[in-house]
Amino acid sequence: MNQTYDITIIGGGIVGTATALSILKEKKVKLLLLESESSLAAHQTGNNSGVIHSGLYYKPGSLKAVNCTTGRDMMYVFCEAHSLPFDRCGKIVVATSEEEIPALNMLEERGRSNGLIGIKRLSASEIKEYEPHASGIDGLFVPQTGIVDYIAITKKYAELIRENGGDIKTNSKLVSVKRDGKDLILFTEQDEYRTKFIVNCAGLQSDRIAKMFGVDPKLQIIPFRGEYYQLKKEKQYLVNNLIYPVPDPQFPFLGVHFTRMINGGVEAGPNAVLAFKREGYKKTDFSFGDVLEMKLYPGFWKMAIKYYKMGYQEFRRSFSKELFVKSLQKLIPEIQYDDIVVGGAGVRAQALERDGKLVDDFRIVEAERMVHVLNAPSPAATASLSIGKTISEMVIKRFNEEVIQ
């Protein structure tokens, strides 16, 4: 059945749903959102640590910094307005060696540049006032950080999309496209849809979707699995809220940390280990096609050479609970092998350029009757309302110019 829409969003994660909602609030259009899985928020959105980020880490003026700080405040307002659970509990970042002090200084400077009022430097004894079981020589307290349930938020976005006249189709994997005049015909495994404009918010598949529409993404998505442990119930007293290490500034991951979850429990992790499948949530998950695609991409080998030591350490830690515990003990020395049990995992879509450079900021590419969101890493969930508004402004501008004329 051929159904006709003005705008079609591909991808039902938090960025896709936020974008759809923003478009519908700004312009009266017939909008469709396609999701390949049986439910929304099935991948990156539904498998992260549920943190509302403050904006501490990001280069001032970057899309990440601007959208995180704006989106963070929008997220708190949205949760309060819709009675969604959240806790603006704050977090501490802990330096455990002298070598980490320069990076901690940089974080403090970035935080202040990004408008984090109330950020506070902590001495070793002051760290204990926030987290009595944490250990460090220096630290930061960041009051703007919080915790939330991003699956619940995505479901609320979806509810509002439908209330505003949008359609959502799950179990609708896009398999091919063709042009018919200036319109696009989208073929899923069950149906076909005619649309005047598409927005690619496909996350782990965003580069492939771009190619399907004839757009060279000039990058490739490399999947990194983040594995979590959970503190046993009787050991959850060791963590009050959120305890983070000082991240390695050369690598776009934050390091294993402790996170109190909004629905109960405490997670420890994640690591960042190369996955052998785009949706490879288990160590045994393997896709010959995905691995071959990585191996044939020149940027992959350049990245591998640059980060081979770190990559090797991440693989070792992935297969060794002892090494994982050792990492956690840097933050909480009391943690023991039997205090944690295996938790879940998520897969991060890390965009990689042909020269081996990891794309750190959001990457959005425009083409005729199209907008492609090719890189939307953390803090995309935090920033979803803001980045959704940014994308929708691009979409509406192009739609008005190219479709309505």
Q: What is the pLDDT of residue 1?
A: 54
- Copy the structure tokens of residue 127: 């760290």
Residue 138, phi then psi, degrees to nearest 5: -160, 160
Sole residue written with tokens 């909602």: 21
Kindly report the backbone phi and psi dihedral angles of residue 106, in degrees, each rounded to the nearest multiple of 5, phi listed first.
Answer: -65, -40
Residues of the chain predicted below pLDDT 70? 1-2, 252
Query: Using the 8-state DSSP alphabet, how is residue 27 labeled?
Result: S
- Distance, in Å, from the CA atom of 154 to the CA atom of 44, rounded to the nearest integer, reads 12
DSSP of 106-160:
HHHHHHHHTT-TT-EEEEHHHHHHH-TT---SEEEEETT-EEE-HHHHHHHHHHH
Tokens for 168? 């959502």
Per-residue pLDDT of 240-256, as tens digits, reads 999 999 998 777 677 89
The two tokens of residue 378 are 């953390």
Write the class of the CATH domain 220-358.
Answer: alpha beta
- The C-alpha atoms of residue 348 and residue 377 are separated, in whole angstroms, by 7
C-alpha pair distances (Å), 215 with each of 210, 321, 378: 5, 43, 24
3-state secondary structure 160-223: HHHHCCCEEECCCCEEEEEEECCEEEEEECCCEEEEEEEEECCHHHHHHHHHHCCCCCCCEEEE
What fold is seen in the domain 2-45+151-219+360-404? FAD/NAD(P)-binding domain (3.50.50)
58 phi and psi angles, rounded to 5 deg: -100, 145
CATH 3.30.9: which residues of the chain? 220-358
Closest among 278, 293, 299 to 358, alpha carbons compared:
299
The count of residues in the chain is 405
Q: What pLDDT score was predicted for residue 40? A: 97
Structure tokens at 56: 């501490």
pLDDT, position 385: 98
DSSP helix/strand/coil, 231:
strand
For the segment 302-341, what is each residue's pLDDT rounded down to a tens digit? 999 999 998 999 999 999 999 999 999 999 999 999 999 9
| pTM of structure | 0.96
Q: Where in the chain is the domain with CATH 3.50.50.60?
A: 2-45+151-219+360-404
